[in-house]
Every structure is written in C-alpha cells, then in structure tokens.
Amino acid sequence: MTDPGLPAAGDIVQVLAGVADFVRRRFAGDYAVDPESGFDPELNRAVLMPVARALYQGWFRVRMRGLENVPSAGPALVSGDLHALWLYIVAPVVGAAIGGLAYQFVRGEHPKPASGTPTAEAETG
C-alpha cells in the first residue's frame, strides 16, 4: 500500500535531477544575471519563490478575504490602523542617536569643545 500523500518515486527522482542540474550550472557559472540590478530570475523561480510560497501558505496561513473591496486600479490604503505611526518615525532617529553615543563610548572618543569655549585648563592657569 502506498500513502496518497507521498510523492511517487519518479517524481522524487525528477526533482533530485533538477536540483543537481541547478547546482551544477551554479558552480559552472552557466546562468544569466541582470548586469544592472543583479537579479537572477532562475534563482528567484527555482529557490526563493518556492520557499516564500511554502512559508506564505503553510507557516503564516495567509487567507484573502474581502478582495472584492480592493480597487482594481488606482491607489488603495492597505491598513487604516495608524495609531503607532509615530513609533516608526521616532524610533530610527532615537536609535541612531543612541548608537552614535554608544559608538563614542566604546571607542573612547569624546566630542571636542567648540572653539572659544573656556576649558578647565584655561580657568586654572
């Protein structure tokens, strides 16, 4: 008895042959890449899209509902829940400031005082 959920042996052999051919062409450098963008359509079709599709359908279990309400042409607002929009604007700025201060602290660098500003040495001497 064979399990109907398992692929046939011929299908497995065909998939393995395709994978072997793909790897062979990669090592030989026999594949086309767009010189301007670096986009590789074969890698996208054979590797990236199947992984993304498996995650999309199996792991995240995305379901489409209400697609008839989306306009077929023109702009559309994907999410109307913008209560945390400020966080996406403020967080990168605060993170960059904290990162800059941490970098100066780790490197032992301290900002130099502006010219014309009295220093402790000038006041004592």
pLDDT attached to residue 123 = 55
Q: What is the domain partition of the chain in residue ranges? A: 9-63+84-107
For the four alpha carbons of 39, 40, 45 and 51, in that order, the dihedral sign comes to: negative
pLDDT attached to residue 9 = 72
d(Cα 108, Cα 71) in Å, to the nearest integer? 56
Alpha helices in the chain (DSSP H): 9-28, 41-43, 49-54, 85-107, 120-124
Provide the residue-wise pLDDT of the chain in tens; the chain has 125 residues: 556 666 677 788 888 888 899 889 889 988 888 888 888 888 888 888 888 888 888 888 777 788 787 778 887 666 666 777 888 889 999 999 999 888 888 887 776 766 766 665 555 55
Q: How is residue 110 written in tokens?
A: 């301290």
pLDDT attached to residue 12 = 84
In whole angstroms, how far apart are CA 108 and each of 42, 101, 114? 49, 10, 19
d(Cα 15, Cα 45) in Å, to the nearest integer? 14
d(Cα 47, Cα 66) in Å, to the nearest integer? 31
